[in-house]
Amino acid sequence: MNRAEQKAAKVTVFDLQQDPAAPGLKFHRVNKSKDPNFWSVRVNDDLRIIIHKTDDSFLICHIGHHDDAYAWAERRRIEVHPRTGAAQIVQVRERIDENGVSNLADFATSTALGETSGTDFENPARSLIFADLTTDDLLSVGVPEDWLDDIRKATEEAFFEIAERLPDEAAEALLEYATTGRIEPQEIPASKTNPFDHPDAQRRFRILDNVEELRRALDYPWDQWSVFLHPSQRSMVDADFSGPARVAGSAGTGKTVVALHRAANILISDPKSKVLLTTFSSPLANALNHKLRILVGENAHILSRVTVLPFQGIASEMFMLTKAHDPRPAKLKHIQDAIGQASQLIGDVGFSDRFLLSEWRTVVDAWDVRDFESYSSVPRLGRKNRLGAKQRERIWPIFEAARGYLKKIGVQTWAEIFGTVTAHFGQRSEKPFSHIIVDEAQDLGVSELRMLVALAPTGSNRLFFAGDLGQRIFQEPFSWKSLGVDIRGRSKTLKVNYRTSHQIRIAADRLLPSELQDVDGIEENREGVVSIFNGPLPEIRLSDNPEDEAEAVSSWIKTQIARDIPPSEIGIFVRSDDELARARQAIRLADQTPLELSDRVEDRTGRISMGSMHLAKGLEFKCVGVMACDDDVLPRQDRIETVADQAELDEVYETERQLFYVACTRARETLLVSGVSPASEFLEDLTSPY
């Protein structure tokens, strides 16, 4: 619908809410519907609102142009499930047959889902995956009665066609059974419970008590989905934790939504609360701030008690409060010069400047080591080169001299800035925040975590983290427990993916191991995750040169635009700024306008977003192209050339793979991966069979 149609529909909905019996409203029964309670309400010559009207309820169900609106109603019914008691919108099985989608249970049992560049993204499953489930099992998870037979006959491929036509709770439960072998019956309410109050019904239906609630629902029809809380996530929002807690899960499982709702709940329930909502980058902090404003709606006054800043942003603000002036962060060139100058001053210590820079970055500065006694005992996790006491003693003067050089030129590393804030607030009983909620917590470093602990009071529910070890792209792993953050017994992994199609999730998951473990031994099992919708297979397109790749990607962009995908719903990502010119060329060849992602929040309307993979974190688009996946680009060669030992090389490959995973999982429905031959070795993992 265009804006004029949206406005007209909104006026009609308000009129219906004020007086459904008003003489100006024109009702027509949808005669071909199997549900006699579906009616059409005229908005204008072509636009119709489908409502479901009974003696007990008046539901606004669908808005669309005349033929589409009637077709929607003719293929559906609203009923109370006989077993779970939840109100459901059910696609009528026989109507689907009448519309040419018959024999669903036999769908694609003899051929694979498809091929891309000669490589199958899916291994066809030809066995009946629900044959062992009884009728009682299927009814217990909300499967409508007229779909029981199709479920029993479904192969894996057929089921993904069927799943799109089932109520969400049934599809999710069956997807979980297919991946884990477990069936979890839905909640069965007391006999007199309103079917619209059932948790499953509240996925679909919202009861509005007044005009203001209706106005909010109509004013934010799309943005509200970005903060929608699934019933399965509610427990982590409301839970009372005796200490630090964490919600984990792969990309698209709703970790950020849980963090946002938890922040909003605290602000609303505790009028004295002061909440810090933080993450690793300015673009993500801006996105969190935008979504939080949507979430709180008419309670916008509570936002005066929340601070939304990235890690470095909050450090700068707290540093200024402590020192009464802004910090001067050291740049990489400053640190390289400091190590080089110190090496010349101290002389040969038996280690290269490359190793010394690496040791500084991953050990000395990361742990804010200030004296030799601390350096002699600091953990060196992941460092292959073991250093004895005499070796550490020999190289420590280099680091001491490097600190002196940085001090002389008046700059501090970020670790030192975080350390200054930590030292100040760690000694104070009065803290600037009552609660701290951290998104993308996997990219917290040692000094950042120490600072957050110092800024938060001790006690229940004060520290809450949301993150995914599989999306760690900046920091090396370390023990949270050693810094006083013990989340054992207070960590939950989300398993339902709401953002990414089954096909894209399956392909992207092949980039990572099925189980990840942090340094403290807490495991994140990535198996058993299910996507709630189906989509086209990802594509891989390899070209002979960058010019041909740009032509191929521009053709792909034109195809998406022809499918009525708005340019703002398309994102193009590359490994680094060095490859941005290739993305820009592809977008312009498609006669579209590129919008380079930055720290600013900008209106993306009418433009295609482009940026480095690092800036992709936290974003999502219907269609994503990941370009320049060449052998000498991904993993990035200058990172490989600066490693000092095998362990650090392994770490580089791991984080580069996770960065690629992040970029691919920004796509909700359509994913294109392109490059120039020879391609990145990661593409083999992306396309490998189970």
Cα distances from 31 to residues 60, 436, 451, in angstroms, run: 18, 56, 65
Q: Which one is predicted more confidently, 469 or 563?
A: 563
Residue entry with tokens 């994913």:
671
pLDDT tens for 444-487 read 889 999 999 999 998 888 999 998 877 776 666 788 888 889 88
pLDDT value, residue 123: 43
Cα distances from 94 to residues 109, 131, 147, 164, in angstroms, run: 21, 22, 10, 16
Fold annotation for 3-74? YaeB-like fold (3.30.2310)
Residue entry with tokens 């996790």:
381
Q: Three-state DSSP class for 646?
A: helix
pLDDT value, residue 381: 58
Residue 340 CA to residue 348 CA, distance in Å, equals 11
pLDDT tens for 350-381 read 888 888 888 888 889 988 888 898 888 887 65
What kind of architecture, by CATH, is found in domain 536-687? Answer: 3-Layer(aba) Sandwich (3.40)
DSSP code string of 170-228: HHHHHHHHHHHS---PPP---TTS-TTTSTTGGGT-----SHHHHHHHHH-TTGGGGGP
Domain ranges of the chain: 3-74, 87-180, 218-324+418-525, 332-411, 536-687
pLDDT at 684 over 80: yes
Whole-number mean pLDDT of the chain? 83
What kind of architecture, by CATH, is found in domain 218-324+418-525? Answer: 3-Layer(aba) Sandwich (3.40)
pLDDT at 95 over 50: yes
Q: What does residue 562 show for φ and ψ, rounded to 5 degrees?
A: -65, -25
Residue 261 CA to residue 450 CA, distance in Å, equals 25
pLDDT value, residue 414: 94
pLDDT tens for 43-67 read 998 899 999 988 877 888 899 999 9
Q: Which amino acid does the sequence have at 625?
A: G
pLDDT value, residue 121: 39
Read off the pLDDT of each residue in 512-524 and give the average, rounded to a whole number: 74
Residue 373 CA to residue 359 CA, distance in Å, equals 16
pLDDT at 386 over 90: no
Pairing of strands 38-42, 47-53: antiparallel
3-74 and 536-687 share one CATH topology? no
What beta strand segments (E) does 285-330 contain?
306-310
Residue 67 in contact with residue 78, Cβ under 8 Å? no
Read off the pLDDT of each residue in 134-139 and give the average, rounded to a whole number: 92
Residue 687 CA to residue 645 CA, distance in Å, equals 30
Q: Which amino acid does the sequence have at 654?
A: E
pLDDT value, residue 231: 66
Read off the pLDDT of each residue in 146-155 and give the average, rounded to a whole number: 87
The token duo for 198 is 């059932």
Count CA within 13 A, CB hemisphere, residue 674. Answer: 27
Pairing of strands 515-517, 539-543: unpaired
Q: List the Cα angle 457/467/460 in 5-degree steps.
A: 25
DSSP code string of 519-581: TT--EEE-TT-EESS--PPPEEEEESSHHHHHHHHHHHHHHHHHTT--GGGEEEEESSGGGHH
Its pTM surpasses 0.95: no
Q: Which one is predicted more confidently, 113 or 154?
A: 154
Q: Which one is predicted more confidently, 250 or 464?
A: 464
Q: What is the helix (H) or strand (E) element at residue 630, kind and residue range? A: none
Q: Is 238 exposed, middle or buried (0-12, 13-18, 19+ CB in 10 A)?
A: exposed
Residue 155 in contact with residue 122, Cβ under 8 Å? no
pLDDT at 255 over 80: yes
Pairing of strands 539-543, 667-676: parallel
Q: What b/e sequence results for 593-602 when a residue is b if at least 16 CB atoms lie within 10 Å of its CB, and e otherwise?
A: ebbebeeeee
Percent of the chain scored above 90 by pLDDT? 42
